[in-house]
A and B are shown apart, each in its own frame.
Chain A
Amino acid sequence: MNGRLGGWLRGRLGLDVFTHLAEKKEVPVHKHSFWYYWGGMTLFLFGVQVGTGILLLLYYRASADEAYESVRFIMTQVHFGWLIRSIHSWSANLMVGAAMVHMFSVFLMKGYRAPREATWFSGMALLGLALAFGFSGYLLPWNQLAFFATKVGTDITGDLPLLGPFLKRFLLGGEQITGGTLTRFYGFHVAVLPAITTALLGLHLYLVQFHGMSVPPSVEAAGGPRRSLKFVPEFLLRDSVGWLAALGVLGLLAALFPWELGLKADPYVPAPPGIRPEWYFGWMFQTLRVLPAHVLGFEGEFLGIIAIGLAAAVWLLVPLLDDPLGRDRRARLWTAVGWLAIAYVVILTGLSYR
């Protein structure tokens, strides 16, 4: 940023605004500081997704006749196609995982308190978008696993009250999964969702900069001198260590557990046993599975969907429900709710694998 080129750029692009912001930004240091890295981790993994995704769409074909063959082409003919594809698939999972860690840690640290409610809402929307990315992307290889997992997922969507059938038709582009569904999912995955995500992500990041980093109530209460790190270069260096580690993990996963091609989707054979959606939907899926068929005169699945919907709504609205200062009994209640939620999601996700 120094020298003649730097000066030219600064003058033309008004970069001083950003450099000031960057120099001023500080990150609080306390025993929970570790959790501050997870937003950036999610962002890094999203960047990997965008990069590898753009590379993949140069060769991928979104029609039922050619999708599977084009993925096979990428994996067998395109140089390092197997690597890009495996990284894209693994990083998707890691990104959703990181997003959930980020969300749960923000929840427990009560980072959603005023004035950061909008940050929390936009973050929840981003999580929803990440899940939508995962769901739409999963179908694109058009193999047996993907086809039937999508069928299960859209069937459950169809069971939602009121809007269910309409949503299902909207997603599938018809009554069943066809080539039309694939084209539509592709459109969502590479155009619609990225556009919305860009806007929301921009908002989310701006809000984080604007409000600065929040500090958990316990640290606030402890008082004492507030230690902090400068964002540039100290926090960023630590971020880089994390991102490098993530890159290494991705490489390891792509090498040791490469993503399979599988068998081309055949709508006319019975579904293979043990079909389920991806792990990040596992806890919802398992909840619906363990509910008995009928409860109190209602269909078990219906009640399950309602319950999950209500829980999600409550979770979303927690900034408005919890104590703004984050210290009284209400605050302790919500912390307990947070731990309960984590336990529930983790345990049910694990059970969904049986």
Chain B
Amino acid sequence: MRRRSFLDWLVGIFGTALAALVAYPVARFLVPPKIPEATTRRVLAAQPDELAPGAFKIFPFGSRAGILIRDADGGYRALSAECTHLACTVQYRKESHSIWCACHNGVYDVEGRNVSGPPPRPLEKWVVHVTAEGVVVELGARA
């Protein structure tokens, strides 16, 4: 009798352990991860007020790189940061209010149009939404 109830007790313990080992991953699975969805169409690019006016940031958008620029008047612009020449990562130059690629001196205006140097095509422009959570960048309507 005592051995039987000891066995029962053990079964109870290990059964509970197994239940926990199953329930734990399921519970954690159900809790949404930090990024709520795959970054195929939109991504949270920056925190609110993370960028000062005139500053810029390179952010990941899925497998691509994007550039987020904050204008002097506080508005935002987002474009693909991959230079259309040889895919180097571009940067923003506040003084000349233009986007510049260090690899071969390619220059784009802030609308993304290639204005000087080797780039053959403009940078892809993206849509920006300013929300309470931060700056959300979304692919353009035609993407």
- Report which A residues bind B (CB closer than 8 A): 51, 55, 58, 61, 65-66, 69-70, 72-73, 77-81, 83-84, 244
Contact = CB atoms under 8 A, between A and B. Distances in A.
16 contacts: A55-B26, A55-B30, A58-B30, A65-B40, A66-B38, A66-B40, A66-B41, A70-B37, A70-B38, A73-B35, A73-B37, A77-B35, A79-B25, A80-B28, A80-B29, A83-B25
A118 B33 CA distance: 47
Main secondary structure of the interface of A (DSSP, over half): helix
B34 interface: yes
Given A55-B30, A65-B41, A80-B26, 11 more contacts: A55-B29, A61-B38, A66-B40, A69-B39, A73-B35, A73-B38, A79-B29, A80-B25, A81-B29, A84-B26, A244-B18
B29 to A, nearest CB: 5
Contacts of A244: 18
B132 interface: no
A69 B38 contact: yes
Given A69-B40, A83-B25, A77 B34 contact: yes
Contact of B31 (A61, A65, A73, A79): A79
B40 A77 contact: no
Contacts of B31: 79
A78 B28 CA distance: 8
Interface string B18-50: 100000011011110111011111000000000
A22 B23 CA distance: 28
Interface in B1-32: 18, 25-26, 28-31
A194 to B, nearest CB: 19
Interface centre among A72, A73, A81, A84 (most CB of B within 10 A): A73
A65 B35 CA distance: 18
Contacts of B38: 61, 66, 69-70, 72-73, 77
Contacts of B37: 70, 73
Nearest to A87: B25
A211 to B, nearest CB: 32
Nearest to A83: B25
Nearest to A244: B18
Contacts of B40: 65-66, 69
Contacts of B25: 79-80, 83-84
Interface string B82-99: 000000000000000000
Given A65-B40, A66-B40, A69-B40, A79 B28 contact: yes
A262 B34 CA distance: 24
